[in-house]
Every structure is written in structure tokens, then in C-alpha cells.
Structure 1
Amino acid sequence: MIEQRFHRLGSHPLIVLCAIALLAMAGPASARSNGPDARVEVREQSPYGRYLTDSKGRSLYLFEQDKQGGTMSTCVDACANTWPPYTVTGDPTVGKGVVSSKLGTIEREDDIRQVTYAGWPLYYFSGDDRPGDALGQDVEHLGGEWYLITPKGEKVVHGERSEAPDIGDTGIENPSGVSQ
């Protein structure tokens, strides 16, 4: 397959070199890293209460098909395109309200480190477009349920999937996630 791509590109050395570099960097959504220091934050939003997000306020989910405290993710291939894992190249860090002893990582089968919380691998939902979106909440997909996760490490059992409230009518009691 790679040879076919190069054949179409011609034999110019610079073009071939650039193509090799692009192919080496490309990969499935599951192989993208969130940087050296993935940060887990807490957001509070009605009707979910307090739940985990990344540093940009994007919702993080657990997948009930994963084994809590297990050493691997069950969400690979097509699953990881819809539910991209929250990954890190360095060590994840904690925001206010996040219990540092609950934060960890597992090694995915593609040699990428995925952030875990209370033993649950953490994921995004590809349908969430902006901070505060929770369209993956309480969704049954790929043989299991997906839930937001609380700072205690438990699934959020209340509230249905929803888009972020409009600016001005946020419904967000504490958008920064910082306890007052």
C-alpha cells in the first residue's frame, strides 16, 4: 500500500521524503497524544453535578466494558475513532478537586499511554464539539455503557446526554471547576 502511494507521487527524492514523514506521523485517532502533561480537571454542570474533564473543559468518559483497575482498554480500532482515548506522553497532572492517587496510566496495544482515573481508562466522545458538551453521557454503544466520571471515580448516573448550554445561559455553576 505504501509502495502504491509512492508510485503515484513520482520519484522526486524530496516528495518521497515528505511522504514518508507524513505517513509516519499519521495514524488512527487513538494514536494522537494530548501532550506531555494531560491535566484532569473537575467541572460542575447541571444535571450531572461534578465530573472530570481535560484542561480545556472537554468531558471525559468511562466505558463499562473496561475492567476497572485492569491493565488494558477494550476500546480499540473503530471504537477508538468514536471514543478517542485520553492519552499522554508524560505524566498526567491533577487540577483542583481531582484525587492524585486515583490518577494513573495504562499502556494501550499501540504503545500509547492512556490516562486512567480510579482504575477506569478515560475517553473523549467524538460527538462532543465544545467544552461542556456531554453527548456521550449514558450512551449504550459497542456492547457497553458510556458515562461521565465523578471525582470519586464513579460513573455519573443522572442526567441525559446534552450539548453545552449557550453562553449567557450556561447552567454551569462553576465553569472553572475550582471549588469556592
Structure 2
Amino acid sequence: MADSEAGRILVDQSGRTLYGFTKDKEGADACKADCIAVWPALTSTSEVKAGGGARTSLLHGTERAQGAVQATYGEWPLYYYVGDTAPGDLNGQGLDGEWFVVAADGKLIKKPL
């Protein structure tokens, strides 16, 4: 978790912002091909672990194509945004009215910056 302009948000171990996509339903990813090129999924070949402030009970994984496991938090598969070039960037927040940062409780933070 990290403090940001949007509030306390979910980040990876390097401080890079993680996003949820409102078109994802019940933990299933709706971001395919061209979408993934701009919004890469947070995937791992090993177990994903919650860091300080994140709730272990909300962190899970969902299988994507080719056997990769995408991290999910609450009901949201997690993504990066290619327009975020440094830890703490929030350039994807609110894009297309569908991409939002994730709060500690697993809900999307939909406030504009």
C-alpha cells in the first residue's frame, strides 16, 4: 500500500501503481490482446504475497491464457498502465472511465485527480 493523490492505494513491491478494470466481472479478466499491450497484467509464476497494509484475505490469483496466474485483489484482477513510468505515477487513474486504483478494502477508488 502507498499514499497517493487518490488516497491509500495498492502498489507492487516496487511502488508501481496497480489498477482495476470496471469491465472485469467476478474476477474474470476482460482485458485481452490490444488491451494487455497498454494495461499489462500483474502476473507471477510463484505465490503473490501481501505487503504492509494490504489484506492477505483479499489477495488471490486467477488463471490467464498460457497458464500465467494474474494477481487479483478483492474482485479485481490487477493491471499496470504503460503510461506510468515511475513508482507513484497515477497516469491511468480514471482513463476511459473504466480504470481505477484499488484501495486497501479491495474497492476501486473512482475519485478524479
The answer to whether TM tops 0.5 is yes
Instruction: Give the corresponding residue for 2:16.
Output: 58
Which structure carries more helix by proportion? 1
Which one of 85, 97, 102 corresponds to residue 149 of structure 1? 102
Task: Look up the equivalent residue of 2:87 and give its one-letter code.
Answer: P
Instruction: Give the corresponding residue for 2:48.
Output: 92
Shift in Å at residue 149 of structure 1?
A: 0.4
SS at match of 1:110: helix
Greater Cα radius of gyration, structure 1 or 2 = 1
Check conservation: 1:104, 1:119, Cα contact below 8 A: no
**Percentage identity across paired residues of the two chains:** 38
Task: Look up the equivalent residue of 1:52 and give its one-letter code.
Answer: L
Which one of 64, 72, 85 corresponds to residue 108 of structure 1? 64
Structure with the larger RCO, 1 or 2 (CA within 8 Å, 6+ apart) = 2
How far apart, in 1, do the equivalents of 2:7 and 2:112 lie?
A: 9
Q: 1:68-96 deviations in whole A, cap 9, x for unaligned? A: x33x3111111001000000111100111
Task: Look up the equivalent residue of 2:35 and give its one-letter code.
Answer: C
Instruction: Give the corresponding residue for 1:74.
Output: 30
Shift in Å at residue 109 of structure 1?
A: 2.1
Q: Are 1:159 and 2:100 counterparts?
A: no
Instruction: Give TM-score, length-normalised by structure 1.
Output: 0.61
Structure 1 runs of 4+ aligned residues shifted over 6 Å read none
Q: Structure 1: 5+ residue runs without aligned partners?
A: 1-41, 161-180
How far apart, in 2, do the equivalents of 1:110 and 1:75 lie?
A: 15
Task: Look up the equivalent residue of 1:59 and give its one-letter code.
Answer: T
Which one of 114, 118, 125 corresponds to residue 81 of structure 2? 125
Shift in Å at residue 111 of structure 1?
A: 1.7
Shift in Å at residue 104 of structure 1?
A: 0.2
How far apart, in 1, do the equivalents of 2:111 and 2:33 lie?
A: 29
Alignment size in residue pairs: 113
Shift in Å at residue 159 of structure 1?
A: 3.4
Q: 1:121-172 deviations in whole A, cap 9, x for unaligned? A: 00000010000100000111xxx60000001011112232xxxxxxxxxxxx
How far apart, in 2, do the equivalents of 1:131 and 1:52 lie?
A: 12
